[in-house]
Amino acid sequence: MNARMDGLRRRLGGFAFGGDYNPEQWDRPVWKEDVELMRRAGVNLVTVGVFAWASLEPEPGRYTFGWLDEVMDLLHGGGISVDLATPTMAPPVWLSHGHPEVLPVMADGETFGFGNRLHYDPTSPRYREHAVGIAGKLAERYSHHPALAMWHISNEYGPTAYGPCAAEAFRTWLRRRYGDLEALNEAWYTRFWGQRYTDWAQVAPPEVPRTWSNPARRLDFKRFTSDALLECFVAERDAVRRYRDDLPILTNFMRFYRHADYWRWAREEDAAALDIYPDPGRADAHVAAALNFDLMRSLRGEPWLLMEQAASGVSQWRVNNVKRPGRMRLGSYQAIAHGADSVLYFQWRASRGGHERFHSAMLPHSGTGARSWQEVEALGNELPRIAAAAGAPSTAEVALLFDWDAWWGLEDTYGLPRNDFDYARIATDHYRPLLEAHYAVDLVSFAGDLSRYRVLVIPNAYLVHDGFATAVEAFAAAGGTVVISLFSGVVDRDNQVRQPAYPGAFRRLIGAYIDEYWPAREEETFEVEFADGTTATADWWQESLHPETARVLGEYTGGDLAGRPALIRNDFGSGCVVYIGTRLSPEALRDTVLSAVRAAGVAPVVEGAPPYVEATRRDRYLFLLNHSDTRTASVAVPGPGVELLGGSTVDGTVTLAPLAVAVVELS
């Protein structure tokens, strides 16, 4: 039950459609036209004021709310609801000029100055005081405005600070975590290189590693930074909530964002919300997008909000390709298919100047004659056809581990057998076969409830918590199927190697130990032969695996590890564990993951559809998306129903033209 989000859905009567609206960039006469065109495009929600701090508080304590009053009234008059933002991602110049300590000192010791955005130190008491101040003023004034539907706190929380405020806050965080200095010395293993601390005042954020800095200290600093940013969110949220309790309050997350543990964050919000900018220049960008969408849904186990996307191209990359005709619509439905209850864009009207003047917008520079406007307008007027699906839940029997501590351990602490791990990419590699074979997937953290799944995939979880290892054992013992891949279970929460043998946390589970990790040499590949005589290639990584209770599924046919296992399988209680000790080719990884899922008896959403078609379910709504630019696909549908976008009756199969979408309400 999420009463605040239910309230929002009721108010909007279905999916939210709209985007960031920055009227302070335009003169008054434009505002009226904006509202007229918004109505034409089916817009029902806009996010106002994200970067408007300087226009709302031009001098400390002097507020100029008049223009915002007008905008709120205008929007309300047009029947458009407002997601009101606190503008604290971009503090006005008077704050950083008058109080330079609010600017973040970066890892290299340089100060990040005014002239961009994100120029705030999240640990600065002065920044927090002003941020909470403006948030409270906005809430005081607009909490009961009839246009107000929800709150958008700040924007894409992000900066990491290393200055004096951060050092002080880090020490406070560490004291809370460890209580006494001896516990910190133990956790950080300061006996190495004689780093023992004897006074809290000696403890500081990790410096730019000249060789490299203490790996446990780096890990704690990641955790601390995520928490420090979260404190900023919570402080503003509470300042706003004081005035009214029934509206959703949230902030917007980013794709594969490493510096904030979104599992912890999502608990503090009324819904998860994501900004997504898949590169239109990459044919498979939808795969990582789907993973991010599933992550958003999993964070709270609920529908989430697509808070920003581009109507066409972005402007921050070297080459910014447009979204070809049909792609924006397809990507929007893809988010909905994975649980989004909104399609929102950055931004409503394309800016004339400023950093992002060439970022596409719902209303582009060339106005309503533009191809991309027409696609936006068409989508906004089409979405009401599936309004009944808003709020519909999704279920999955396959879970994939995606945990920030695992990520930080692997990528942020250096000193590993190889130091080019890419956790998000590895997770995507394991996710892709499931997506392409039409299995529903939830993401889980170390703290996740595994009991509702039949299969758990653990990609490359170098660092795992004890409690998770225990939970995975219980899951397997009770009949679950577990697929674990390379270099997992190696260290504990403090980044210390589990003794006496790799892969410490998972040794019993996989029924084998590893005596050495063997990162591959440049260009080196390996052949793996399976029991049935088939072979696969692998590269990048090997492990010298010694089965204890496991049996061998595939072994190396050549090289130093010839005859040694690359893949093993261990029966564990009533379940089983497959362990992959190398980087398999995409095809072999696909076959390994899918055979485990099939053997576990999990059914895909649809049978026999091609891999470029995506299929998901939200309750009785079946979403089919054809990602191919050229191929038509026929998909067998599990039961009769009605295709809601076209209004036709479905019985048997649905035919999808290239880039087509079908939303079938199954009877």
Which positions lie near ligand GAL, rule CB under 6 A?
155-156, 275, 308, 314, 316, 346, 356, 359
- Taking the C-alpha atoms of residue 178 and residue 76, their distance in angstroms, rounded to an integer, is 51
Q: In angstroms, what is the minimal distance from the CB of 35 to ligand GAL?
A: 21
Catalytic residue of the set 101, 156, 268, 527: 156
Say if CB 622 and CB 605 are below 8 A apart: yes
Cis (ω within 30 of 0) for the bond into 104?
A: no
527 is catalytic: no
Which residues lie across from 274 on neighbouring strands? 253, 306
Residue 622: DSSP 8-state: E
Give φ, ψ of 350 to 5 degrees. -65, 135
Say if CB 628 and CB 634 are below 8 A apart: no
Q: In angstroms, what is the minimal distance from the CB of 241 to ligand GAL?
A: 23
Nearer CB in complex with ligand GAL: 348/556: 348
| Amino acid letter, 663 | V
Say if CB 376 and CB 362 are below 8 A apart: yes
Nearer CB in complex with ligand GAL: 307/456: 307
308 is catalytic: yes
> What residues contact 202, with CB distance under 8 A and at least 6 apart?
none
Q: In angstroms, what is the minimal distance from the CB of 467 to ligand GAL?
A: 34
Q: In angstroms, what is the minimal distance from the CB of 89 to ligand GAL?
A: 8
**Could you tell me the two tokens for 341?**
């209850």
Nearer CB in complex with ligand GAL: 314/538: 314
Nearer CB in complex with ligand GAL: 347/495: 347
Nearer CB in complex with ligand GAL: 275/429: 275
Say if CB 285 and CB 254 are below 8 A apart: no
Residue found under tokens 């591959």: 520
Cα dist from 476 to 239, 454, 482, 503, whole Å: 45, 9, 7, 17
Q: In angstroms, what is the minimal distance from the CB of 355 to ligand GAL?
A: 8
Give φ, ψ of 185 to 5 degrees. -60, -40
Nearer CB in complex with ligand GAL: 298/309: 309
Q: Could you give the residue ranges of the DSSP H alpha helices within 485-565?
A: 507-510
Catalytic residue of the set 308, 436, 473, 643: 308
DSSP H or E run through 244: none
| Amino acid letter, 171 | R
- Taking the C-alpha atoms of residue 287 and residue 298, their distance in angstroms, rounded to an integer, is 17
Q: In angstroms, what is the minimal distance from the CB of 50 to ligand GAL?
A: 6
Which residues lie across from 634 on neighbouring strands? 655
List of E strands, 501-556: 512-519, 525-530, 535-539, 541-547, 551-556
| Chain residue at closest Cβ approach to ligand GAL | 346
Say if CB 278 and CB 289 are below 8 A apart: yes
| Amino acid letter, 483 | V
Nearer CB in complex with ligand GAL: 53/468: 53
Q: In angstroms, what is the minimal distance from the CB of 19 to ligand GAL?
A: 10
Nearer CB in complex with ligand GAL: 107/118: 118
Q: In angstroms, what is the minimal distance from the CB of 21 to ligand GAL?
A: 12
- Taking the C-alpha atoms of residue 146 and residue 72, their distance in angstroms, rounded to an integer, is 9
Say if CB 510 and CB 577 are below 8 A apart: yes
Count of Cβ atoms closer than 10 Å to residue 560 Cβ:
10
Torsion sign across C-alpha atoms 184, 187, 190, 195: negative
Q: In angstroms, what is the minimal distance from the CB of 324 to ligand GAL?
A: 19
Q: In angstroms, what is the minimal distance from the CB of 310 to ligand GAL?
A: 7
Sequential DSSP letters for 151-201: EE-SSS------SHHHHHHHHHHHHHHHSSHHHHHHHTTTTGGG---SSGG
Helix/strand/coil percent split, the chain, to 5: 35, 20, 45
Residues that are catalytic? 156, 308
